[in-house]
Structures are given as C-alpha cells and as structure tokens.
Amino acid sequence: MATSSRPFSIERMPGFSLLALTCFFALYMPLAPLVVYSFNAGDNIALWEGLSLRWYVAAWENDLVQSAAIRSVVVAVIASVVATSLATMVALGTTRTRPYRGQTSIYAMVNQPLMVPEIVTAVALLIFFALIKESTGYHGYAYLISAHTAFCIPFAYLPIRARLEGMDRVLETAAADLYATPWRSFTRVTLPLLLPGILAGAMLAFVISLDDVVITEFVKSAGQDTLPTYMLGQLRRTITPEINAISTVLLGVSVVMVTIIFFLSRKKA
C-alpha cells in the first residue's frame, strides 16, 4: 500500500507531541503557583488577595535575607572562580598532554562529586571539618567555600572538556608553525577558543553553588546561612509569600544563567 511504504516519521505520531506537552507541564506547572503567589497581597501562600509587590519589598528589607543573599553570592563567586580555574587546568591536563598512565582515572576522580551521593559527602565533610575545627579552633568561611569549590569542579569541568575535545588540535600546530611559542599559542589560540566553554563552566558552577542546600546545611557554622538554608529554616515556622518572592528571584537568576550557558555552548568554535 502507498501509506505503508512511507518512511517512519515522528511528525505523524500524534502521541509524541502529546507526551512532550505532558512532560512540559509536569515540569513547569508546579512552579506556576509559587511564582503567582509571590505577587499575593495577602499573608497566605494559598489564598489569593490581589496583586502586590509587598513580599518582594519585605524580603528586600529583611536583614537576614539580605545577609544570606550576600553570603550566597560571595560563596558562589569565589567557589565558581576557583573551581573553574582548577577545572580548566585539569581539562588541559587530560587532553593537551601526551597520553600518560592514570589519565582516565583523573577523569573519574574529577567527577567524583557527581557519583557519591551528596548526603554522604555532606556527612563526611561534617565529620572531617569537625576534626579540623577541633584542632585549629578556626570556624570561618573557608570550610563552606572549599566544600562548594569541590562539588562545583565537575560542573565547571564538563563544558570545558567538551569544548577542548571539539577543538581541532591542528590549530595549535598551525600556531607553532607560525612562530608562536607554546605559551603564546595557548594565550592567543587555545584560550580564546576555549573561553565560551570556560564561561559556561563558571556560570554552571555559580548556579550549582547558589542552589546548594544539603552540603551547606551540614558544613556551615553558626550564622553562616546561605539563601537556600535560610529558606529551609523559615519553612519550620509560619510560611509567608516572602519565601515565594525569594524563590522566584532565585528561579529567575537560574533561568537567565542557564539560558546564557545554552547559547555559549552552542557558539561555534
């Protein structure tokens, strides 16, 4: 029959678009009430009383929210910058050197935080840092920042490595042929071409650090709440749409960052 000889095509399977729509709604529907009620004029997170920016103002003026937000951003900036630098070096070391023994195990090691359950890492760090705190008496931010740096590395590493692997080695050969020393070939050819990958990696690391709850909750000392752990604390009390407002801002930041990452990683070499 004429129809049976036509090639198979997803376009003619109505089930698939329905499925895609379902997935889309399942993912995004639950976010809708959260965002909508952040603009609620009333005190209740489930009872609509009119449109207002009241809770955004309240969150903005809340000292605890402010200091937690600043802490979150500072930790995320430091952790993502350090993690991205380390990840860049590791990525170069695993793709731009002569093959050596143990190269693949480095790959596995760098990705360790993706494989070990976060709660296990959290407990391990809690115990490990407790020992250090005990013996040094130091209770500052170094614990939080180093923990964030560690779990950010694989997220920074993956886009950088992907870009390095997609990059033609012959370009570096050409640079060497045209009198560029290895260092200048790196700064003038490798690094500029790698930059979109590095930026994507850094932003991904930033978002991951900004959103982290589990490890932060276990590692932070007293008075070191980040925005997510502050919110977690609030949930144990009466909840107001202030939480919705903070969440909506976080959501906005993440969406913007992820969109930029998406465009950076699509950028042609």
Partner 1 sequence: MSDDVAVEARGVSKIFGASTDQEVRALDHVSVSIAQNEFFTLLGPSGCGKTTLLRLIAGFEHPTDGAILLEGKDISALPPFQRPVNTVFQNYALFPHMTVAQNIGFGLEMQGQSKDEVANTVGAMLVLVKMENLKNRRIDQISGGQQQRVALARALAPRPKVLLLDEPLSALDLKLRKEMQVELKRLQHETGITFIFVTHDQEEALTMSDRVAVMNEGRILQVGAPHEIYNRPNDRFVADFIGDTNFMPAEVIEHDESEVRIRLPSGIEITIPAPPGLPQGSEVTLAIRPEQARIVTDADAISIQGSLTDEIYIGTDTQYRVDIGMTSPFVVRVQNANGERARIPLGSRVGIAVDPRTIQILQD
CB of 112 to partner 1, least distance (A): 32
- Token pair recorded at residue 114: 């993706």
CB of 123 to partner 1, least distance (A): 46
Closest to partner 1 by CB, 49 vs 177, is 177
Binding site for partner 1 (CB under 8 A): 168, 170-171, 173-181, 184-185, 188-189, 192-193, 268-269
Closest to partner 1 by CB, 98 vs 237, is 98
Q: What is the dihedral of CA 67, 73, 74, 80, to 10 degrees?
A: 160
Question: Residue 5 gets which letter from DSSP?
Answer: G
CB of 267 to partner 1, least distance (A): 10
CB of 3 to partner 1, least distance (A): 41
179: left (phi over 0), alpha (psi -120 to 50) or beta: left
Length of the chain: 269
Tokens 């790959």, located at residue: 107
Closest to partner 1 by CB, 140 vs 166, is 166
Q: What is the dihedral of CA 240, 245, 248, 254, to 10 degrees?
A: -110
Please state at what angle helix 63-95 crosses helix 191-211, rounded to 10 degrees: 140
Handedness of CA 110, 86, 221, 131 (dihedral sign): positive
Query: How far apart are the C-alpha atoms of 200 and 194, rounded to whole Å?
Result: 10
CB of 199 to partner 1, least distance (A): 14
The residues with which 51 forms a beta bridge, in sequence order, are 40
Specify burial of residue 20 (Cβ count, 10 A radius: 0-12, 13-18, 19+).
exposed
- What is the C-alpha radius of gyration for the chain, rounded to an integer number of angstroms? 24
Closest to partner 1 by CB, 167 vs 250, is 167
Closest to partner 1 by CB, 139 vs 169, is 169
Closest to partner 1 by CB, 40 vs 185, is 185
CB of 268 to partner 1, least distance (A): 7
CB of 210 to partner 1, least distance (A): 30
